[in-house]
Amino acid sequence: MTATVARSEWDTEERRELRALVRRFTEREIVPSLAEWEDAGAMPRALHRRAGELGLLSLGFPEAAGGEGGHLDSAVATEELILAGGSSGVVAGLFTHGIAAPHIALHGSPELVDRFVRPTLRGELIGSLGITEPGTGSDVAGITTRAVRDGDDYVVTGAKTFITSGTRADFVTTAVRTGGPGHRGISLLVIETDRPGVHRTALRKMGWHCSDTATISLDEVRVPASNLVGAEGSGFRQIMERFGSERLSLAVQAYATAQRCVELTIAWATQRETFGAPLSTRQVVRHRIAQMARRASVARVYVRDVFERWEAGEDVVTELAMAKNQAVEACDWVVNEAVQLHGGAGYLHGVEVERHYRDARILGIGGGTNEIMDEVIASRLGLD
């Protein structure tokens, strides 16, 4: 018997086992119910508990906060969840803690870690990240939600919008203004959603239907000052610190979605017959699928390379922005062609490529838009 040799960091024995675990979980516990959750507009809490039991929510979190494994493990889980028939919408809703909890794990007090991070990694709590407001999205430094100190509390007033998992969240890691204008006046405060003055409204979207999204208004919400994450005024730095992993996760979702659509289209084109022969025998179709596969592969190789360098601590701010845009561009192109090659079937609700087509549209908007990524690149190229 030949010994199995890891071909890359992404393909070690442990990561192959992780892939197998995620594939089983996705095929058995997600795929059969996904259409129902898409129509319901949210996923059940029980799914978080199950993912917690399997250790999938702990990936990428420090051991000191109840985590295990590195960011690469969490990327492997994301890839496999999509390749096994899940979706970026499932990743967004089930792994929201990946954007909501790291700040607390890294900069929060031990008490905050015990109250919010550990139970979230066990799947017992759901967290959200509240940065975007009705008046500002890309310009994070422009947020206006205000937290005014009053004794041992802050009193918070403002609104957050487009908040992933916002209708189900037990707590929101919220960007608030505790100081003057600009980025130095921003802090992060954990706000429990059962506090008086928190009101939530569900938003309907083009895609990511199984991932609930909310506008959260905060009307003089009294929050203990001990819920502050890190020092006052450190919020913007903490947010920027975490943008790297969010952007990489979205890039992984993009190339994995593209790869899944390549596979679905190959399966379709080999069995669908037109004019007496399978679609896969037509040169124009074969070449289109070859191009889809090429774009998905090139995006995967580039994003994985940047991912490894980022995890090793290299300064890859420019490459990270390039990776996100490259993967999103590949994904947008591939999902469009996948729908096209499925013909009318590709336009039907419930057909997998239709879902990926709608879900993919957010990847170039969330976590820093395509334009903001280009701004980052231009600035690092010395064009300021």
Ligand X SMILES: Cc1cc2nc3c(=O)[nH]c(=O)nc-3n(C[C@H](O)[C@H](O)[C@H](O)COP(=O)(O)OP(=O)(O)OC[C@H]3O[C@@H](n4cnc5c(N)ncnc54)[C@H](O)[C@@H]3O)c2cc1C
Give me the residues that bind ligand X (CB under 6 A), please.
128-132, 137-138, 162-164, 205, 208, 213, 362, 365-366, 369, 371-372, 375
CA dist list (Å): 71 to 15, 164, 310: 12, 21, 10
Q: Which residue in this structure is represented by tokens 């015990």?
A: 114
Shortest distance (Å) from residue 371 CB to ligand X: 3
Q: Return the number of the residue (159 or 323) whose C-beta is nearest ligand X.
A: 159
Shortest distance (Å) from residue 373 CB to ligand X: 9
**SS3 call for 236:** helix
Q: Return the number of the residue (138 or 226) whose C-beta is nearest ligand X.
A: 138
Q: Please give the structure tokens belonging to residue 197.
A: 């003055």
Active site residue 232: no
CA dist list (Å): 116 to 92, 100, 101, 181, 191: 19, 10, 8, 29, 11
Q: Return the number of the residue (162 or 302) whose C-beta is nearest ligand X.
A: 162
Shortest distance (Å) from residue 257 CB to ligand X: 15
d(CA 323, CA 7): 22
Q: Return the number of the residue (238 or 265) whose C-beta is nearest ligand X.
A: 238
Shortest distance (Å) from residue 40 CB to ligand X: 16
> Which residue is at the shortest CB distance from ligand X?
137
Q: Please give the structure tokens belonging to residue 52.
A: 């917690």
Shortest distance (Å) from residue 33 CB to ligand X: 21
Identity of the amino acid at 223: V
d(CA 208, CA 206): 7
Residue 12 belongs to what H/E stretch? Answer: none
d(CA 228, CA 173): 9
Q: Which candidate in 80, 246, 337, 354 is catalytic? A: 246
Q: Return the number of the residue (203 or 298) whose C-beta is nearest ligand X.
A: 203
Q: Which residue in this structure is represented by tokens 């239907």?
A: 209
Catalytically active residues are 246
